[in-house]
Structure 1
């Protein structure tokens, strides 16, 4: 089943390489226990609130897709002109930021590690940890990033995928970062533990240009459920789970939902309605191992975007301000 897609996934595994600037054991001498320190801090935060998981994962995506994986999304500014102040980032949950800040504090509380580990690397490790804590795959992370010194509201423009994007636009956006169609579909699987506010998809329920005013790619029963949770005149900030079936488990049910017309965003459902991506969705829905393999490969590639080294960056003492 799905022979061409399986061959493509096998090629991803066989030809996977480590980024020249990053290493699996980067902190072996400077802070050998960094991964266990971060993991403990993330687990403590996760036990306080499940939101830690989707919030941290989304924070990582929004960081890497804008200026590269340099923790620039964490920087604050007095005049509200940083990345985090862009309208596309205002919905980022505070628990994601708090996870990184607490993990950074835990690392710097160890004398030999103080000022040795970047916020960018901590975000990468924390992202891996929340995926594992919610039942997803555990994987080795490449480390050695420095923190960026620049964060502007304007830089976010046209860098973050919109919920109403169709496949062609999504694919073009990801391709600018060297990410393939398989990467796009695998990374979209992160919505298995995500949530969204009604305003991000309400057009599919009430303003669609059709006689019924409902997006015809939506499962009718699902559309009724969503209308019940998101009435047209109600507060649009109400949060809805992206995966209503197993909302707190990192699994492949997201793809099974797409097969049933239960993708929350247009950008989700287009992965199944478009003939070029449909077979990959079907493969991931049928084979959870195939999904996990592709996801780990894709998120590793995502973590290599825009890496700062040498004089391009620094190791911040405080993740929210430059040194």
Structure 2
């Protein structure tokens, strides 16, 4: 059990990690933000009408040539069975776990579109460094780190095996997001809608031996990227989903046909979901440059607008790095770190 330095007494007395006291859940996350709640509803409706029928393929990814899918993809989600997951459970693996050397050999660069995103689940330990190496090898730039915080609110007495390679009990996992190509927040609204979701997932920790990831990762991806060609590698029967092609060794059936899949994107259809006027009106936009907002540079006034006091200058200077817009996909340290090109 990790004892948090901010809530040490709370953890010891209630046997709860601090994470259960954070707001969570898709249903009530935007209760205090009616515009965002309406935006999510409209986007979900559009996604459901533009989704392709679910397709799935049982394949051994060690030997399967991904180019046989005969398609490029806008989004690729990888959920490899890492050794780390089985070390933490303390039980024998019911499927083969993959080393990072094996994962790096996957031909992701050969099936990604000219502008595309990769989401790679990489655990909570050494996988963060190896995951970044995979992104670089595949031709992607790390753009974001989506963090899954695991709670034990429903079962506070539950314990699990301590990873032999860890000092503390780990209560989170990471999903690295990589970007390929040039994507501008302000001009590529046909392909991405940033700032819709937060980069944090808070859910109850699954039962011991269950290595499935939260379904919320699919919502985050679908709200963010408007590309319709979505691939899930290392998927299972439980993750088959409309709008996605699921490929994995543990699937029990297959219905994939490359010609049928490609036909979903032929004219008059598009590889993009599109956007409605109401969604465009509601979605968060990139703020205009300071010069367009009328703020001057001189303390007592000058070019660009009326006099600005010390307090106003401080608030304006700090506004760009404030992460209170209900989440975004900017990297730490500024909105352009990690792959998004500056305006």
Q: Which TM-score band (shorter chain)? A: under 0.3
- The alignment's TM-score, normalised by the length of structure 2, stands at 0.24
**TM-score, normalised via structure 1 length:** 0.25
Question: Over alpha carbons, which structure has the higher Rg?
Answer: 2
Q: Comparing both structures, which one devotes a greater share of its residues to strand? A: 2
